[in-house]
Structure 1
């Protein structure tokens, strides 16, 4: 199969979308498929580079790409079986790419991976500005593929289309994977060490994380790994609260993250909106239990298996109870976390993606005269 993947989310970026696309490309090629990747200029995975600029408004690690003549030329002449456009995109004019693919008779699909409306709401406290952002998201991002009948791919817990587009329930579900070879199980950890790994950003609710850790700072240590737009503000907040035993470690290479997961007794999460939450699954793959807040995604994924680790993010007692449960548990809890994570693999997830591609190609060929 000859595939073109267009993505603004590639290494060295660190988002969950990036992780997903990087592993898809890796395994598609491993399975013998010809994959061409278009992406930002600073991304090694991109075979063809698009001019890009950092998105300073939200995350300078994220790059916004502009379309190129070479991209249009490749779509016209390279005879791809399928073109996969990863969204959301702001400057790429994807509606023109959709139209070009349909004109050329090429099977094209769009994938959306993050709850953009909940994400932008954290960055747009001004109601008017958020409404403008919401309008852009609905009418420029989500409606075009629906109007043009472009197949939509999304994780099971993606909600934007259901919220925006009359309870949209169509599309193809993308399964999720985990690199269990990279995030290896370890029975060894540092007692009373806690860890957070992820973006330092408003949607992660990390000021509440500081407040919760303040309750146990005399007995525990906390490592915060990551970076983002609220990095400095969070450090100032921790200093104002005079929090002890906390380290802001900053950015760590993805290949080295497992060491920090393995060393901790528990992983702390305070997010209220997630499409999936890869870091929780990575932590569990290393055997490290996660203390997760009540939200739709986590209740669906983890509550049936680890109900004692759930807490209301605004309830101090429930947080302390979950932490106590981990302290009093033996090695079987860590083994159970690893067993749960091993249900997922990027190899299986990529095979599922290939099945979707094949289904789309079959449906497309049936529609051809």
Structure 2
């Protein structure tokens, strides 16, 4: 039977050169689809005025739509839906995609309401409750006035996000990156979740691997004055309240081992994190290296362990990138209640890293010490386990294969 090649539209709130887990996933999904002969385009918002409205990156056309800046989250959420609904139709009629894979509920619903008919697969990377809790309820250390404001904003964001998400379930085929995400969505919507599929994401091992990482280490150590005599703890992600970086600093303070904490990323809380590190008397051993792209594998390979201290995380792409470079990882073990993470589905405790059951600085410190204290051969075995496990279970080729199967099956239902 002759292979059918599809025209596939990938949509999200942002795309390259903006860097993030979702943005990177679009990049690697697109590259894998091109390898297999499919036609791919990306539609997103123009998140910065300097980003061109139309650009071609790695042979994929990226189309950006300008949107206004709106302060209040409930108005901003619905604005994104309506802007997409009204603005994407000319493009859809011109490109005529066979199928749409969406990473944003706002764009997903906007497309559904635009009236364009084709299978719409919504890949849920978070949900209304997780997003609102993570953005507005993790307020440790904030002044009382700001904490009250964040609490009020939580409700505005949650109820608008919830309404959009609930409505989108009527029009789309839900795809979840993890069992954790599936369980969280079922707890919110129950009977509305029909025929959902769990398709694990991948990691680009052509880029994230130990060989590439080790080649970049010399440049990184020289450029950022990394202390080679100390163990290195790596964090990769936004410098935001919901990322629990203050707790990570507390745990660094408790370590008996001399370490250097490397923070890769930017965010609004950078200055507060600096001040907190000074308050805890660990600032001299913290490196703020900003956003990284080409050097990122080198940071993973430079580290002895990568720690993601979040308690609300739909998946955790950072884990896969670190494991692919052979660096063990540590994260809080999801319980579906207070700790809403997919770490149990990624980390094999004692084999590829450590799962921490209690959210505390002391427990996080103990997990780090347990890896620092490994004998050289035991650490090497953990590193090899990490590389082998991630290459077997998490690849973009496998993800794309499963998504194409689902897409073609649904197209046959359309009689196409």
TM-score after normalising by structure 2? 0.76
Aligned to 1:364: 414
- Residues 252 and 365 of structure 2 are in contact (CA less than 8 Å); yes or no, is this contact kept in structure 1? no
**Deviation at 1:277?**
0.7
- Whether 1:185 and 2:214 are equivalent positions in the alignment is no
Give me the whole-angstrom Cα distance separating, in 2, the residues matched to 1:87 and 1:177: 18
* 1:342 aligns with one of 391, 406, 411: 391
Residue 267 to residue 342, structure 1, CA distance change in 2 (3 Å): same
Give me the whole-angstrom Cα distance separating, in 1, the residues matched to 2:87 and 2:194: 35
Residue 365 to residue 349, structure 1, CA distance change in 2 (3 Å): same
- Residues 196 and 224 of structure 1 are in contact (CA less than 8 Å); yes or no, is this contact kept in structure 2? yes
- Whether 1:98 and 2:144 are equivalent positions in the alignment is no
**Deviation at 1:96?**
4.8
For the residue of structure 2 that corresponds to 1:49, the secondary structure is strand
Aligned to 2:77: none
Aligned to 1:194: 233
**Deviation at 1:118?**
1.9
- Whether 1:87 and 2:90 are equivalent positions in the alignment is no
**Deviation at 1:307?**
8.0
For the residue of structure 2 that corresponds to 1:332, the secondary structure is helix
- Residues 9 and 15 of structure 1 are in contact (CA less than 8 Å); yes or no, is this contact kept in structure 2? no
- Whether 1:247 and 2:287 are equivalent positions in the alignment is yes
* 1:288 aligns with one of 318, 322, 327: 327
Measured against aligned partners, the alpha-carbon deviations of 1:202-252 in whole angstroms (never above 9, x if no partner) come to: 221110000001122761111111111211111111111121411111111
Give me the whole-angstrom Cα distance separating, in 2, the residues matched to 1:308 and 1:74: 45
For the residue of structure 1 that corresponds to 2:373, the secondary structure is helix
- Whether 1:9 and 2:58 are equivalent positions in the alignment is no
Q: May I ask how many residue pairs the two structures share in their alignment?
A: 354
Give me the whole-angstrom Cα distance separating, in 1, the residues matched to 2:96 and 2:162: 31
Residue 56 to residue 302, structure 1, CA distance change in 2 (3 Å): farther
Q: Which runs of 5+ in 2 are unaligned?
A: 1-5, 74-79, 138-147, 218-227, 335-340
Aligned to 1:153: 175
Residue 266 to residue 308, structure 1, CA distance change in 2 (3 Å): closer
Aligned to 1:320: 366
Give me the whole-angstrom Cα distance separating, in 2, the residues matched to 1:137 and 1:193: 39
Give me the whole-angstrom Cα distance separating, in 2, the residues matched to 1:6 and 1:307: 33
Residue 292 to residue 107, structure 1, CA distance change in 2 (3 Å): closer
Counterparts of 1:99-248 in structure 2, within 5 Å, are 99-101=113-115, 104-125=116-137, 126=148, 127-140=151-164, 142-148=165-171, 150-156=172-178, 157-159=180-182, 160-166=184-190, 168=193, 170-185=195-210, 190=228, 192-216=231-255, 219-243=258-282, 244-248=284-288
**Deviation at 1:257?**
0.3
Measured against aligned partners, the alpha-carbon deviations of 1:305-343 in whole angstroms (never above 9, x if no partner) come to: 638722233151563254233432331121111111212
Residue 300 to residue 250, structure 1, CA distance change in 2 (3 Å): same
Tell me which moved more, 113-122 or 227-236. Answer: 113-122
Q: Which runs of 5+ in 1 are unaligned?
A: 59-63
**Deviation at 1:279?**
0.8
For the residue of structure 2 that corresponds to 1:165, the secondary structure is helix
For the residue of structure 1 that corresponds to 2:88, the secondary structure is helix
- Residues 11 and 18 of structure 1 are in contact (CA less than 8 Å); yes or no, is this contact kept in structure 2? yes
Give the root-mean-square deviation of aligned CA atoms: 2.9
- Residues 7 and 97 of structure 2 are in contact (CA less than 8 Å); yes or no, is this contact kept in structure 1? yes
- Residues 313 and 319 of structure 1 are in contact (CA less than 8 Å); yes or no, is this contact kept in structure 2? no
- Whether 1:297 and 2:337 are equivalent positions in the alignment is no
- Residues 263 and 287 of structure 2 are in contact (CA less than 8 Å); yes or no, is this contact kept in structure 1? yes
